Each structure stands twice: as C-alpha cells, then as structure tokens.
Amino acid sequence: MSKHGVVMSLVTVVSMAVAGIANAAVSEEEAARLGQDLTCVGAERAGNAAGTIPEFKGLYVGEVPGWDAEPHSGEHPVDPYADDQPILVITAQNAKEHAEHLTEGQLGMFERYPETYRINVYQGRREFAYPDFVCERARWNATNAKLVNDGLGISGLGHNPFPIPQNALEVLWNHQLPYRSYTQNEVRDIASVTASGSIGWGRSHGRCLAPSNNPDPAARPNAEDGVSAYCITEVLLPLRERGNMSMNHEPYNYAIASRTAWSYNTGTRRVRLAPGYGYDQPLGGSNGLMTIDEDRLFNGAPDRYDWKLLGKQEIYIPANAYKVHSADISYDDLLTKNHPNPEHLRYELRRVWVIEATVKEGSRHLYGKRKLFLDEDTWHAVLADNYDSRGELWKHALVNYYYHPDTSAWQAGASFFHDLNSGGYIAYSLANERETGPILNKGDMSPDLFTPDRLRAMGR
C-alpha cells in the first residue's frame, strides 16, 4: 500500500490512456446495485470498516435544516452543523501519523507552513440526497451511456453518465457532468494573496445555463443535443480589464465540436471568435494567476493529457462547507497570510476517486501532471495537486462545496489555489461580503441569450 493508502476500488486499478479505452456500459446486474449497496449515483452506501466514514443516510432532499431560504434569492448559506466541534486537528507535528489520509499537496502545505497550517477534521455527515429524477437518469446511463471518440465525448443523458465507472475518463466525465445548477447568476470576488499577505482584487460576473442539468423531471437532457452548458463571464475587477467579457458553449463531445468561445474587448468594442479558448490561458479577473481550466479544478477538453485511474482512497477533504461561506466572516478574517484561516474550513474523512493526468507527448500545458480527488458522493473534484513540467509538486488546490436547497445538489463555492513555490494563493469565488451569493435555478435563461450578437449588445 502506498503512503496515501489506496484502500479499495470498485474497478481493477490499471493505467488507462485516452486511446484504446473500454467504453462498454455495465451489465444490468451491476446496475442493479444502484440504490442498494451503492447510492443512486454510485457511492458506497456503507461506512468504512474503521467506523471513521459513516453510512450514507440521505435524510434530506431539497432542504437544509435551519436554512429557511427564500427560493432563488441568493441568500448566504446557514450552517446546519454550526455546533459541531473538530474531532481531530492535524498539524505539522502530527501530519506524518495521518499521512495515509493526506495528499502530497496537503503534506506539502504542512511542510511549507509548519507554524500556521492545520486541518480541522469533523464528524463525517452524509445526510443530503439527490431527487428521484437524478437517480433515474443515472440508472439509465449506467447501462446505456458510453464514451465516444476515444473518450473525448460521451453518449447518454446529460449528467452522472457513469455511476459505476470502468476507467479514468469515465471518472473524469462524471466530474465534468455531475448534477448541479441549471441556471446560475453570480458575482465572484477573487483575491490574489501574495507571500507578504498583501491582496490584489479581482471580480467577475458569471451567468451560466446548463441544459445538461434541466431540473424538469420529465426532461431528458441528451448528449445528442450538442451543447451541455453556456456561460458569459464579465470582468469587473481589476479596473484595467473591466468590461472585458468571454462567452463559451461547452460541448458534450470535444472531438466533434471544440469548446466554442468569443471575447469582447472594451478597447476595440469588438466581438471576436477565440480559437483554442481554455486550457492554461489566464482566467479573467484572476490577475493572470489562474488558468481557465482550473475553475472547478478541471474543465474542458481532456485531450492534452493521458489519464490514469489510481483507484479509491480515504482522504481528508473539504465537506459540508457552510461555515466558510458565512456572511458573518469578513475577508480580513478569512484571507490570512499564506493560506486561508483554517478556523473556517471543515474537513471530513471521505472516500474519493483518484485520477492522474500526464501531459501527452507532443502536447503542452503549464501543469505537466495533475491529480484530481473526487468525492464519491457527488462526483465533484474537491482537491487537486498540480505538478510542473519536471514532475515537482507546484500547487495544491481545493474547492469547498455545500448542499443547496435551490438545486437539491452540491454547489461549488470558495476555492483556494496555493502556490507552494511563491507562498501566495488565489481565493476564488468568494461571496462573503457580496450582498448575495449565487442565484441558482431561477430558470430565467435560454440559449438565445448566449450568442455573439447578445455579447456585442452587452458591451460597454
């Protein structure tokens, strides 16, 4: 067993490159496990043998105890577990004792910041569930969805395509297409925190429509529809970029239709097609310190990497992350030097799927290797360790998710991207000091809002 403790797997752990992967759906017998010993989207229902991971209970659908939010209002979340206290605090002094449940990036954080970095571990809680129609679509996909074009696309219904995955690219597509918000309107604050603790601010306004997540139980969003999501992002800060916008259409199949993107520049007041948009190009509003494909830890075409499935591990990950999104927490309190204030982050021991991406021969990317850690209950990547072209650990990133009643699903919130070389970090998708958080599933968007003409009309 490695020092990171691969403890179990639903598949044989093998290396899978993009070419030559198996793409057969699972058998009816295997699919019958969904809703039984597996949850309806493929997580192991039982806790672990040590009793440190609880059984999945799924007590709540579309509600969060104590959070009586007006629907689609953007209210800041209320923590249903505010009374919980840490059951374990991991520091640089005891990190080696828990190394089998930590990633290389987390261990790197302890080494880099031995005096201040810590991980507060809380009782595991697996109490939120998806609606029945999400389960029904996942069940259909289990025996029908397939990878196509050597894993660059899928056929099947819009989300949770491979609840019982057979290889790395099926796991990756589960991350690309989990069930999440259908419409999203959000102003994000972005803080670039230098090694000295000074902060450069960015801000962006994002509006997205994801037909793949149509919440109408009668709908059957299908990969044959071509586009899984539409987004427009407008830069509000820094001032030198204010008013610049980008728009993209996200395909289900990158071999047939690459991500189509347009940009609007305030200097020229022109809309231009943006070929090759994505990958390691700078993300607008991040002061050039985040790549486009780092949003949600990975997004876009997988074609520049060879992908390997490393199996499942039990890892301390951010989970039930309500506290960090509280309107009662100021940015001054949250954004401490070198890393966010550990007091506001909640970690739990969870089973995660681990996939590794290595830049393909003849391709290039800022990150020569990436490891993604996906929560088995949600299929969202929650941790990422990124390496440079020499294979040296460079960055450790995390996304804090919380269950949102407007979507009956998990919402990506505050994300932190740590540069272990420079000592700085990016805090992305903050809303603590905004009047509202994300406005989700209001259903007030349609594809005709995401056209080059509409982008031009929005220009300043």
The answer, yes or no, to whether residue 33 has pLDDT greater than 50, is yes
Q: Are 375 and 320 in contact (CB under 8 A)?
A: no
Containing H/E element for 456? Answer: helix 452-458
424 in any annotated domain: yes
Per-residue pLDDT, averaged over 110-115, amounts to 98
For 441-458, the pLDDT digits (tens) are 999 999 999 999 999 999
Buried b (16+ CB within 10 A) or exposed e, 317-328: bbbbbbbbbebe
167 in any annotated domain: yes
333 in any annotated domain: yes
351 in any annotated domain: yes
CATH classification of the domain holding 47: 2.50.20.10
For 293-336, the pLDDT digits (tens) are 999 999 999 999 999 999 999 999 999 999 999 999 999 999 99
Distance set, CA 228 to CA 178, 222, 294 (Å): 11, 9, 18
For 380-401, the pLDDT digits (tens) are 999 999 999 999 999 999 999 9
Which residue is listed with tokens 């997540």?
Answer: 213
318 in any annotated domain: yes
120 in any annotated domain: yes
Per-residue pLDDT, averaged over 219-246, amounts to 96
pLDDT band of residue 5 (cuts 50, 70, 90) is very low
Q: Which domain holds residue 393?
A: 6-458
Residue 334 carries which DSSP code?
H
pLDDT score at 284: 81
- Dihedral of CA 199/205/209/215: which sign? positive
428 in any annotated domain: yes
Q: Which SS3 state, helix, strand or coil, does residue 205 take?
A: strand
Q: Dihedral through CA 37, CA 39, CA 40, CA 41, nearest 10?
A: -120
Per-residue pLDDT, averaged over 329-350, amounts to 98
Tell me the H-state helices in 42-187: 104-112, 132-144, 168-176
Q: Is the pLDDT higher at 411 or at 4?
A: 411
Q: Are 401 and 411 in contact (CB under 8 A)?
A: yes
314 in any annotated domain: yes
Who's near 442: CB < 8 A, 6+ residues apart? Answer: 72, 183, 185
Domain count, the chain: 1
